[in-house]
Structure 1
């Protein structure tokens, strides 16, 4: 597979994956939680595959490293979803995965900042920033959710937090990441043409 094709195919796969994952993170009436989790899983697998394809492209070292870190982050999220760990371990894997994706996105931003800027580069830069922000919001929401469960079921108190807030934070982060990923795809398509 040629490097240019691999990079474009990876960008498409990642963008579609982030949108699929955002759909899986959004509660819909009459759609079971398990169905949404399965959709989120498919999205994370697609994102990781897209990031890995982009990392495999011969390119700038920081961009390559950033995509590798993002792929590892997606793998951590996938592990947290599919392996039968206790709920706390699953959530910690998802938190770690989202923070790694955010770190990978910021690493790519570092590469973009050192390059000479044009309209397409700016679109990719903003897209990667949005992805990092979205992943950070998702990691924060799962952290809050984990703390709420500790409060509800642990010895730290007898009141749970506001689950609507954490859900809104998670859904917002998912869609912000999806918008950022689509912006990166558009910028990359324009840059390659």
Structure 2
């Protein structure tokens, strides 16, 4: 059941990243409905995985990612770009922590998925910083970052699904 919960959490997180990528936070839009919904799903998915995993590094990584999403959500509701930027950087830090178990277990696919999420979150943070400090439209960067993160999350979910299916059949 725990492995199944981890897979469910991974797919919730992946769905959230895709929804967020449809209309990422730093793209000009009044409602930000997709960004809000996507980040809520990401936070829930990460929290579900953190709850289910026994690996301490994975547990901490997922908790940190969930906290990052909460920062982004708060920033979206308060229209505070600094919170959104910090949230993306916190998510990237959580993804960086998730690289540790992937490296220890020599799981190249998990590494790829987590690495892409780190890169995507970092690109999104950079887009927010550019918009704040240089007063330029960096929405293309935000879109690239959001889709990079989404691709990484889907790779991670597929990998966890494959691992769960393989272990269930043994």
TM-score w.r.t. the length of structure 2 is: 0.91
Mark the runs of 5 or more structure 1 residues left unpaired by the alignment: 150-160
Q: Distance in 2 between matches of 1:167 and 1:146?
A: 12
Cα deviation 1:98-157 (Å, max 9, x = unaligned): 001000001000111111x3xxx32111000000000000001001111134xxxxxxxx
Mark the runs of 5 or more structure 2 residues left unpaired by the alignment: 166-170
* 1:143 aligned partner: 129
Q: Distance in 1 between matches of 2:142 and 2:26?
A: 11
* 2:86 aligned partner: 96
Q: State which of 113, 119, 127 in structure 2 corresponds to 1:127.
A: 113
> Residue 26 of structure 1: CA displacement?
8.9
Q: Does 1:75 align with 2:70?
A: yes
Q: Does 1:41 align with 2:41?
A: no
* 2:152 aligned partner: 180
Q: Distance in 1 between matches of 2:53 and 2:33?
A: 33
Q: Distance in 1 between matches of 2:46 and 2:53?
A: 13
TM-score w.r.t. the length of structure 1 is: 0.81
Q: Distance in 2 between matches of 1:57 and 1:71?
A: 14
Question: Size of the alignment, in residue pairs?
Answer: 165
> Residue 27 of structure 1: CA displacement?
9.8
> Residue 24 of structure 1: CA displacement?
1.5
Cα deviation 1:45-84 (Å, max 9, x = unaligned): 000000000001132111111000000000000000113x
Give the secondary-structure state (helix, strand or coil) at the position aligned to 2:23.
helix
Q: Distance in 2 between matches of 1:99 and 1:27?
A: 14
* 1:106 aligned partner: 96
* 2:168 aligned partner: none
Give the secondary-structure state (helix, strand or coil) at the position aligned to 1:25.
coil
Larger radius of gyration: 1
